[in-house]
């Protein structure tokens, strides 16, 4: 082989990929080359074309699975390369792909090659092969722009505690500095200027954008299903998950929100802490000085329960540094199995109608006992 690897000059070729089902799974391609192969399939079937190796960049190790897989070209892709064996033209090496503007679309089951005659998938359009997001032509918008616009969350309600202020609890109105409201998901600021937007899209519709358009710099990654994220030039990030979302953390998690947090959940919430039952694994909530904790339930109940029995039973402790106010709209029932102990400097009870106390033994001790009533019945 006197012309090995261009020793006596390179023998170049330009051609069209017709098959990529490499039985050795090396990323090799069957390429019909202009000037070397006839276009008529009955004279030279695709199966008789030599397998062409694909050259990877030096930034890819391409050994033992390390680096980029040499996959990407599809049937219908135009490629350029050279023949390792020179004019014999039996050992093609592909160096890259060539975009263009197709004049014709592929015809399925055609008799001529130089096209995707098997599936007729590519090219899809009679327009530039450069991705529509990179070109940003008004007459050919990318389909994801419409889909992302339709997916936007609008008028999402946030927690409002106005009802607490006007309800029976009579909580002071100055407890909440943010009465909630609504928010809208920001629109994408996509407005790419050619040739600033670097786009990679797979044939299945998975997408990456690295947009360097001045003033509109973005990073966008999107699964074909619609899940993905986008980072705007103002550092805002939008993440969308079209189905379930799982976060698995094997150790600790630290989250620092340096502004406000608003979370809207359309259905239920379950939080489980200390599932292993280890002592000291607490659920702690601390609110800074001058701030408040407001809980409002619309038409439902607030239930606090401790579990266990005997010495393992848990307590509920309420400590108010100042006043404790409880206002009940209807009835109040207290059921204590053992003892109630009350200690205070002064105790005042006022009942509009009947005050009734029943006990097997009722002891009243004090320096003085004053009873003032229009009528007193002792039985």
Residue 270, classified by CB atoms within 10 Å of its CB into exposed (0-12), middle (13-18) or buried (19+), is exposed
In-domain check, residue 264: no
Residue 116, classified by CB atoms within 10 Å of its CB into exposed (0-12), middle (13-18) or buried (19+), is buried
Count CA atoms closer than 13 A to 294's CA, side-chain side.
Answer: 23
Are residues 179 and 195 both part of a single domain? no
Please choose, from the candidates 206, 194, 207, 209, the residue with its C-alpha nearest in 3D space to the C-alpha of residue 136.
Answer: 194
Helix %, strand %, coil % for the chain, to 5?
10, 15, 75
Are residues 145 and 73 both part of a single domain? no
Sheet architecture: strand order including 207-211: 197-201, 207-211, 218-222, 228-231, 237-240
CA distance 68 to 56: 8
pLDDT at 168: 45
pLDDT at 310: 80
pLDDT at 167: 47
Torsion (CA) 157, 162, 168, 172 in degrees, nearest 10 = 140
Are residues 140 and 162 both part of a single domain? no
In-domain check, residue 343: no
Which residues of the chain are under the pLDDT cut of 70?
Answer: 1-6, 161-180, 379
pLDDT at 1: 53
Choose one of 208, 224, 249: the last residue of a domain.
249
pLDDT at 174: 46
Are residues 12 and 122 both part of a single domain? yes
Are residues 9 and 100 both part of a single domain? yes
Are residues 71 and 99 both part of a single domain? yes
In-domain check, residue 325: no
pLDDT at 230: 98
Q: How far lies 263's CA from each of 67, 183, 245, in Å?
A: 40, 11, 15
Helices (H) and strands (E) in the chain, counts: 3, 12
Q: What is the CATH number of the domain that holds 243?
A: 3.10.450.190
Which range of residues forms the domain containing residue 134? Answer: 130-149+189-249
Are residues 82 and 28 both part of a single domain? yes
Task: Check: pTM over 0.85? Answer yes or no.
Answer: no
pLDDT at 274: 79
In-domain check, residue 369: no
In-domain check, residue 294: no
Q: Are strands 51-54 and 92-97 parallel, antiparallel or unpaired?
A: parallel
In-domain check, residue 228: yes
Tally of structural domains, the chain = 3
Are residues 224 and 121 both part of a single domain? no
Are residues 242 and 216 both part of a single domain? yes
């Amino acid at each position: 082989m006197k012309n090995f690897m261009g020793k006596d000059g390179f023998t170049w070729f330009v051609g069209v990929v017709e098959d990529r089902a490499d039985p050795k799974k090396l990323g090799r391609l069957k390429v019909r080359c202009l000037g070397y192969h006839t276009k008529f399939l009955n004279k030279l079937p695709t199966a008789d074309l030599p397998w062409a190796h694909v050259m990877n960049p030096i930034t890819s190790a391409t050994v033992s699975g390390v680096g980029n897989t040499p996959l990407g070209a599809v049937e219908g892709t135009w490629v350029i390369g050279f023949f390792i064996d020179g004019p014999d033209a039996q050992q093609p090496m592909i160096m890259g792909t060539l975009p263009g503007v197709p004049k014709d679309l592929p015809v399925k089951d055609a008799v001529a090659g130089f096209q995707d005659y098997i599936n007729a998938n590519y090219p899809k359009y009679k327009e530039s092969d450069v991705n529509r997001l990179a070109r940003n032509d008004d007459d050919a918008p990318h389909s994801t722009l419409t889909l992302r616009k339709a997916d936007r969350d609008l008028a999402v309600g946030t927690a409002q505690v106005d009802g607490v202020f006007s309800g029976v609890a009579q909580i002071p109105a100055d407890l909440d500095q943010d009465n909630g409201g609504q928010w809208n998901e920001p629109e994408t600021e996509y407005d790419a200027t050619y040739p600033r937007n670097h786009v990679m899209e797979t044939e299945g519709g998975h997408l990456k954008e690295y947009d360097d358009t001045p003033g509109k710099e973005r990073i966008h990654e999107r699964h074909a299903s619609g899940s993905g994220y986008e980072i705007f030039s103002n550092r805002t990030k939008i993440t969308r998950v079209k189905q379930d979302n799982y976060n698995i953390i094997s150790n600790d998690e630290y989250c620092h929100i340096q502004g406000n947090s608003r979370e809207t959940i359309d259905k239920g919430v379950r939080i489980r802490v200390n599932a292993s039952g280890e002592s000291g694994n607490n659920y702690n909530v601390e609110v800074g000085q001058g701030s408040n904790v407001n809980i409002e339930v619309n038409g439902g109940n607030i239930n606090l329960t401790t579990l266990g029995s005997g010495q393992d039973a848990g307590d509920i402790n309420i400590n108010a540094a100042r006043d404790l106010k409880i206002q009940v709209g209807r009835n109040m029932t207290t059921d204590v199995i053992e003892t109630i102990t009350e200690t205070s400097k002064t105790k005042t009870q006022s009942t509009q109608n009947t005050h009734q106390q029943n006990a097997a033994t009722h002891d009243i001790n004090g320096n003085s006992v004053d009873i003032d009533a229009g009528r007193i019945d002792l039985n």
